[in-house]
Amino acid sequence: MSGPTHGRYAGIGMTSARTRDRLIQRLQEQGIRNLAVLDRIRNVPRHIFVDEALASRAYEDTALPIGHSQTISQPYIVARMTEALIEGDRKIGKVLEVGTGCGYQTAVLAPLVKKVYSIERIGPLHKRAKATLKELGVKNVMLKHGDGFEGWKSQKPFDGILVAAAPLSVPDALFAQLANKGRLIVPVGPEGAQQLIRFTRRDDHIDREVLGPVAFVPMLGGLT
Ligand code: SAH
């Protein structure tokens, strides 16, 4: 049998349902309320996205290494960003994600929106994410090996933009590709002093809300 509730995806021991339930409880205690988001965190097999040697730690609420000096995002942060993006009654259409990494955030987000367009600048991570998301049967995503500073012009405008690496200031291209009423969730600032910000476009002006301090890898230009 295959599928998210069977075999390798279901998990055993430190990757079992009981371990995952403890993570969900912890996220609720920290203020995550959106049930659809909590359900995704419970059901996406995070242990499939990390090296086998780290599988036993996959349901701890921490970032873990995925190679190339990058990390899989902390579950709390993935939940917080996803919640901030989809909040409200309106079903979100197209979402641009900058920083695919291993594809974990992409997998959590995909069924909650119409389509995810995700960009990663590191070639091998892009390739691996593509294979993992295919294996998990996540269909409404398009992945690109590219530079997120440029956004994804041919697919604009986006109802949501979610950035998983921290720029020093928000790239103009991202504001330019945000639809009216669209939301941009982005960590901004230098290492040690980043804030997670939610920008919302309202006709000709952009609202800015500070969601709190965070620690992301820096957003870097160019491809590798
Ligand atoms: N959310 C991801 C992890 C993100 S780590 C996950 O769950 O796995 C941040 C990622 O952003 C890294 O993979 C890094 O290579 C990528 N990144 C940094 N700058 C970028 C840029 N300009 N364009 C695209 N990706 C970028």
Q: Tell me the domains of the chain and their CATH numbers.
A: 63-214 (3.40.50.150)
Distance 201 CA to ligand 1 centre (A): 24
* Residue ranges in the chain whose pLDDT is less than 70: 1-7
How remote is the C-alpha of 166 from its chain's centroid?
13
Instruction: Please name the residues in contact with 189: beta carbons below 8 A apart, sequence gap of 6 or more.
Output: 166, 168, 195
Instruction: Determine the residue of 121, 132, 186 to mutate for testing ligand 1's pocket, defined as the one with the most ligand atoms within 8 A of the Cβ atom.
Output: 121
The pLDDT assigned to 145 comes to 98
Torsion of CA 219, 222, 223, 224, to 10 degrees: -80
Q: Which amino acid does the sequence have at 100?
A: T
Q: Which residues contact 53 (CB under 8 A, 6 or more apart)?
A: none
CB atoms within 10 A of CB 115: 17
As a whole number of angstroms, the distance between CA 113 and CA 105 comes to 13
Structure tokens at 204: 């000709």
Q: What's the pLDDT at 12?
A: 72
What is the Rg, in whole angstroms, of the alpha carbon atoms belonging to the chain?
A: 16
Catalytic residues: 73
Given this model, what pLDDT does residue 11 score?
74
Q: Please report the pLDDT score of residue 46 as a whole number.
A: 96
Asked if the bond preceding 187 is cis, omega within 30° of 0, the reply is: no
Give the pLDDT of residue 90: 84
Atom of ligand 1 nearest to the CA of 66: 8
